[in-house]
Amino acid sequence: MTGKETAAGRASARRILPVMAWKGILRNGNVYFPYLAAGIFSVFIYFVFSSILHNDIIRVLPRSGYAWMMLYMGKGILSLILILFLIYANSFLVKRRQKEFGLYHILGLEKKHIGMMLFFETVLLYAGALAGGVILGMALSKLLFLMLLRMCNLSVDVQFVFDPQAFRETAVYFLCVFGMNFAQGLVQVGKARPIELMSGSKKGEKEPRFLWVYALAGLAALVSGYYISVTSQLDDMIFINFVLAVFWVIVGTYLLFASGSIVFLKWMKGRKGIYYKPGNFITISGMLYRMKKNAAGLSNICIFSTMVIITLICTVSLYLGMDSLVHFVHPYDMTALYGEEKIDREEVTKEISALEEKYGLAATRVDIYDRMNLAVRKEKDRFLVRREKENFRDYAEDYQLGILTMDEYARIEGRSVSLRDHEVLIYCNGMDYGYDSVDFFGVKLQVREEISDFFPYPKAADNTFDARYLMVVKDRQAQEECVRVWAKANGVTDLPAFLESSYRFVGIVLDEEDAQRDAFLGEFAQWCQGRPGFFDMTNGVESRRDLKTMYGALLFLGILFGLIFFMCLILIMYYKQITEGYEDRNNFDIMQKVGMSDREIRGTVGRQILLVFGLPLVGAIMHTMAGMFMVRRLMGAVEFFRTDLLFFGTVGVIVVFVAVYGASYLLTAKTYYRIVR
């Protein structure tokens, strides 16, 4: 061949291959268009994150640092999820076109030409996904940004400006992702021979070895994950336990679908009364034919379904319980502490009355009381000296113990009690104390009553991170006696000074939530800080706003990640139906030729699809039920203890998800039926 002929051939290839790539995408639209749609959605979400993070407004708005931090962490997680998902989805594309590539090779195209065609396809898909995602992002980013500000309780009267850096960052990130997908395709095409490419999409799976070993290992891994979830406590190990539980559940899910399902199918195959029926015979044989491949797809559907359900449960529960959560953490609108020199009660009451008249507001609650705080360690019914910490877990035994007289308790609760010597009332804002007596550093005290509720410290049985005890004693003399016993055990030498260091606590709650409340509290705060003995102050209103900003960002992330997980789930389900439809088409055609009616074939197809998509759904619900024990503890880490909302949220989300999952299954099943028929 002359040089001119060679150059002409190369020029012809440069013209033909892009056209073949374009036509290949159009001819295989049923697999490429969903992938392109997923790519557009992925670019859209990533571009939204980048646009918000690169917008100067998110950095200068008051309290927006919480939202920025959450979004920055969420973007890192999103980057990892999108890479894994798009690579996984791309494997379906290459698998579906292996026969076509093999035919091209037999007709004279070399592997380098197929590689060039893959390159042009990748460029077209990348350009389409980037253009579509960025255009969609530019259209909706401002709306999502305003939604973020609204959910975070931040000012919405701002101008959203696009930063070119967001576009550059998005373009580079997805260039890397599509580049990895292109490399994946090259590897699969490059290492296969033409005959393998022609039959690759129909290639069966070998039965895994050591089935029972892997099945038992999967069951053990799943039980381990469930056990960690059910037995975990809200302590310093909660996040490590969460990672371990997720890891073992994922491992157990993959092993059980890969080996346990095969063991079950082989068991069914051994039961002649079950196996030797036309519908069951085809269903069981067909699933055994694609064992490992089915396992990967089904386990992915199960895991993504679990992620969608749990993400939605947390998001819905947090949204419904936001107000109760922030008031649980900060029940007072404002608190002030006074140390050695106690502020006068009448003076405080007089100042509050003047401010009520000035601003037209009423204080629904004003608490002024003295409290002695002691650091203790608790073991069953004994309060002991704190010990040296060998590890962080030792802190779980440490508590703050507040000691009040019954007169001070009456001031707070408006309830009179009568206590005798060595009698106490006791309260814990976490788990109930549960004993009839207290061994207080060797002194025996009788529990007259365990208080069920105490306003400044709302009760939650799961509260272990911020749990504290309060003990009500007869009078000041009994209070000082408790302090003396504590001081002797702890080696405190300057007892008189310590006795004088008890706190006088001032807490106020107003009846209105408007601009006047901020002015009221601002003026009252200035007055409190100017009194002798002032020690510390907390503006509960501002603290609640900060919490709402942080939790609002979590809600925003929960909504977006829920959409992402659901998109991944739907695409996996769709591709699984497409793949199995093409693989089963010839098989069902043969069955029809040997005498099976269309009704029998449809019944067989229905049973197979129902089994394929029913198992992941059952697994996801089981995972959710076991995981909710740990989710409840994790929600407690942000001081969300509304178990009623979690319960109803779980039931509601599962019901809705089953309905949506069923609808999605029916829609994707139509594609399967169309291909098979």
- Summarised one tens digit per residue, pLDDT across range 483-511 is 888 888 887 776 666 665 577 889 999 98
Distance CA 441, CA 438 (A): 9
Distance CA 607, CA 359 (A): 71
Whether the CB-CB separation of 654 and 309 falls below 8 Å is answered with: yes
Distance CA 37, CA 100 (A): 23
Q: Average pLDDT, stretch 65-70? A: 65
Whether the CB-CB separation of 356 and 504 falls below 8 Å is answered with: no
Q: What pLDDT score does 215 carry?
A: 79
Whether the CB-CB separation of 628 and 232 falls below 8 Å is answered with: no
Least confident of 330-344, 360-374, 438-452, 659-673: 659-673
Q: What pLDDT score does 584 carry?
A: 66
Q: What pLDDT score does 9 carry?
A: 47
Q: With left for phi above 0 and alpha for psi between -120 and 50, is residue 639 left, alpha or beta?
A: left
Q: Which of 57, 250, 25, 262 is nearest to 141 (CA)?
A: 57
Q: What pLDDT score does 291 carry?
A: 58
**Residue with structure tokens 């049985």?**
461
Q: With left for phi above 0 and alpha for psi between -120 and 50, is residue 210 left, alpha or beta?
A: left
- pLDDT surpasses 70 at 593: no
Distance CA 128, CA 408 (A): 71
Distance CA 92, CA 579 (A): 8
Least confident of 146-150, 309-313, 413-417, 601-605: 601-605
Confidence of residue 360 (pLDDT cuts 50, 70, 90): confident
Instruction: Report how far apart the first and last C-alpha atoms of the chain are (Å, whole number).
Output: 49
Q: What pLDDT score does 8 carry?
A: 47
Q: What pLDDT score does 596 carry?
A: 63
Q: What pLDDT score does 5 carry?
A: 43
Strands (E), 422-575: 423-428, 437-440, 443-450, 469-473, 503-510, 534-539
Bridge partners, residue 440, by sequence: 383, 443
Helix (H, G, I), strand (E, B) or coil at 313: helix
Helix 515-529 and helix 540-593, axial crossing angle in degrees, nearest 10: 130
* Stronger pLDDT, 282 or 569, i.e. the higher one: 569
Distance CA 43, CA 80 (A): 13
CA angle 125, 128, 131 (to 5 degrees): 145
- The overall longest dimension of the chain from CA atoms, in Å, is 114
* Stronger pLDDT, 114 or 179, i.e. the higher one: 179
Q: What is the DSSP letter of 501?
A: T
Q: With left for phi above 0 and alpha for psi between -120 and 50, is residue 345 left, alpha or beta?
A: alpha
Share of the chain above pLDDT 90, in %: 12
Distance CA 536, CA 538 (A): 7
Least confident of 80-89, 218-227, 401-410, 437-446: 80-89
Q: Is 391 exposed, middle or buried (0-12, 13-18, 19+ CB in 10 A)?
A: exposed
Least confident of 85-89, 150-154, 301-305, 581-585: 581-585
Distance CA 540, CA 326 (A): 9
- Which pLDDT tens digit goes with each residue over 128-160? 999 998 998 888 877 877 777 777 777 666 566
Tokens (6 digits) for 22: 């374009």
User: Which helix (H) or strand (E) segment is 398 a member of?
Assistant: strand 398-405
**Residue with structure tokens 């039980």?**
223
Q: What pLDDT score does 293 carry?
A: 59
Alpha-carbon distances of 323 from 423, 459, 467, 547, 674, rounded to whole Å: 37, 16, 21, 10, 50
Whether the CB-CB separation of 321 and 642 falls below 8 Å is answered with: yes
Q: What is the mean pLDDT of the chain?
A: 79
Q: What pLDDT score does 4 carry?
A: 47
Tokens (6 digits) for 90: 């791309």
Distance CA 303, CA 309 (A): 10
Bridge partners, residue 444, by sequence: 439
Q: What is the DSSP letter of 380?
A: T
* Stronger pLDDT, 241 or 259, i.e. the higher one: 241
Please give the radius of gyration of the chain, using alpha carbons only, rounded to the nearest integer.
33
Tokens (6 digits) for 664: 């999605």
Q: What pLDDT score does 444 carry?
A: 92
Alpha-carbon distances of 395 from 74, 195, 232, 387, 466, rounded to whole Å: 30, 66, 17, 10, 11
Please give the single-letter amino acid code of residue 487. Answer: A
Confidence of residue 590 (pLDDT cuts 50, 70, 90): low
- pLDDT surpasses 60 at 200: no
Q: Average pLDDT, stretch 629-644? A: 84
| Cβ neighbours around 381 below 10 Å, total | 16
Q: Which of 304, 243, 251, 215 is nearest to 620 (CA)?
A: 304
| Cβ neighbours around 31 below 10 Å, total | 20
Confidence of residue 604 (pLDDT cuts 50, 70, 90): low
Distance CA 271, CA 286 (A): 17
pTM over 0.85: no
Whether the CB-CB separation of 253 and 214 falls below 8 Å is answered with: no
Close Cβ partners of 425 (under 8 Å, ≥ 6 residues apart): 406, 409, 417, 419, 447, 448, 449, 450, 451, 471, 472
Strands (E), 551-668: none
Q: What pLDDT score does 480 carry?
A: 86
Whether the CB-CB separation of 283 and 604 falls below 8 Å is answered with: yes
Which stretch, 49-53, 357-361, 600-604, 612-616, has highest mean pLDDT?
357-361
Close Cβ partners of 489 (under 8 Å, ≥ 6 residues apart): 384, 385, 441, 442
Distance CA 29, CA 668 (A): 15
Strands (E), 169-316: none
* Stronger pLDDT, 584 or 112, i.e. the higher one: 112
Distance CA 102, CA 192 (A): 9
Q: What pLDDT score does 614 carry?
A: 82
- pLDDT surpasses 90 at 427: yes
Close Cβ partners of 236 (under 8 Å, ≥ 6 residues apart): 392, 393, 395, 396
Q: CA 553 from chain center: how many Å?
A: 13
Confidence of residue 337 (pLDDT cuts 50, 70, 90): confident
Q: Average pLDDT, stretch 550-573? A: 80
- pLDDT surpasses 90 at 38: no
